[in-house]
Amino acid sequence: MVRQYKYEPHLFRRYKEERDYFSFLSGILAQDPDPISQLSREITDITVERYDQIMQYAEEGKPFIAGYFCAAPEIYEAMDLPWYMIMATPFLAASAPYLLGDIDGAEAMGLGTDWCTACRLSLYYIEAELTPKPWALIGLIHPCDAGNLLHQSVARNQKWRDVPIFATDPPYFEDQRSIDYFAGELRRMVAFLEEHTGHKLDLDRLREVCIESNKQYELWAEYAQLRRAVPCPHGWGIGGPQCFAAVQVFQTGKPRGTQWLRNLLANTEQRVKEGVGTIPNEKIRYFWFDLLPFGWVFEFLPWLEEEWGAVMVMEMFGFTPYTPIDIRNEDTIFKGLAKRNLYDSPMVRQARGPADYFAADIVRVVKDYNIDCVIWPGHMGHKDGSASTGIMREICNELGVPYIHIGLDLFDKRYTTPDECKDKVSKFFSAMGLG
């Protein structure tokens, strides 16, 4: 049954603040003629437009949903359902000045402090009425326990009990039976969305979206190849995370996103041809095997470049193999989406199943990207990854590449402060004779 949606303007207070923040950022970037700033500006413009679209749909009483990048955003696009993540603030606006206060707010709610900060924050925003309420919620029960329990907590939250929720169940291993099963889960997700939003899935439209998104993945893969160059054409500030944002979140299957990737590629090719690196004197090429430390990124990653000549050549969201979706018929499309979302999608790919993915990705990145060291940040929420640390270290030992496990919170800089991280990494670089 299609839900009767009630527009509640007060739930958009924080959402508007974040839209304004990105709008401000776009304004600043617009003044900088540097091509990389312009590439970044395009992404922030797109981000602002996405915020505006959700607000407009809410005001006009049109269906919009909350969903996830690893739950087939191609389907949301094909169903004309704008979507946002309830984890948007920790992922997009984690450097906002209110973040630490919000983390304290989550703690005051009684949420366990060893529970992933991104999850705690997301639940806090719902309880504090700082998140728009969608027509329907696609929850996430993989790759981690924290996410699963977050969405269960959202489902039982008094303020969101009227929001219908569905989550796709993830099989553990990678084989055809698992792909078939997950394709079935995606079909059940479509039925759920049709029931609760009234929007129907048009297979031809889904095919168009998949064709366009295949192009996007191809361009992304090409871009990832170019980052092998020495010196690396781009650093932490542009690359994988923006490709991810464009392809899997804001511009899935949209020509504008495809064009942005072409522009990125053109810039990168030019730099590689000219031998221009992201910094003048690249000394250390590191693989940052996680999300960026969103909450304090500006206090740490620029320092690595300036102090050590250390360049983030690859990170978790920039490197994942992508399989094009076979668009021949409905069956192949759903199976293609299942494979992409289970086994290709970054973070989900590594964290959902056996630790072999962590090992295999390290081997490939280290070999292909001429990596000098692997940094496992060890985010406090990524328990499965940190439980794989011994395997990652052993793989690095076999490859003869130094490995460090820091132990930090990607969102809360009070957990391990930027200065402590700098100290740890400096000692590591020195001890390994890097830089």
Structural element, H or E, at residue 66 = strand 65-66
Amino acid at 339: K
Based on CB atoms, which residue is closest to other proteins, 302 or 407? 407
Nearer to other proteins, 58 or 342 (CB): 342
Comparison of 129 and 145: residue with beta carbon closer to other proteins: 145
Q: Which is nearer to other proteins, 28 or 191 (CB)?
A: 191
Q: Which is nearer to other proteins, 62 or 187 (CB)?
A: 187
Q: How far is CA 366 from the centre of its chain?
A: 22
**Strand 165-167 to 310-315 pairing:** unpaired
Q: How many CB atoms lie within 10 A of CB 321?
A: 13
How many other C-beta atoms can be found within 10 angstroms of the C-beta atom of residue 414? 11
Residue 400 Cβ vs other proteins, minimum distance, rounded to whole Å: 19
CB of residue 316 to other proteins, shortest distance in Å: 16
Q: How far is the CB of 172 from other proteins (least distance, A)?
A: 4
Cα–Cα distance, 121 to 123 (Å, whole number): 5
Nearer to other proteins, 42 or 361 (CB): 361
CB of 304 to other proteins, least distance (A): 22
Nearest distance in Å: CB 241, other proteins: 23
Q: By the criterion CB under 8 A, which residues form the site for other proteins? A: 110-112, 114-116, 139, 141-142, 144-146, 148-153, 155-156, 167, 169-173, 177-178, 181, 184-185, 188, 351, 354-356, 378, 380, 383-384, 386-391, 405, 407
Q: State the nearest-atom distance from the C-beta of 406 to other proteins, in Å.
A: 11
One-letter-per-residue 3-state SS of 191-237 = HHHHHHHCCCCCHHHHHHHHHHHHHHHHHHHHHHHHCCCCCCCCCCC
**Taking a C-beta distance cutoff of 8 angstroms, is the pair 385, 378 a contact?**
yes
C-beta separation of 409 from 421 below 8 A: no
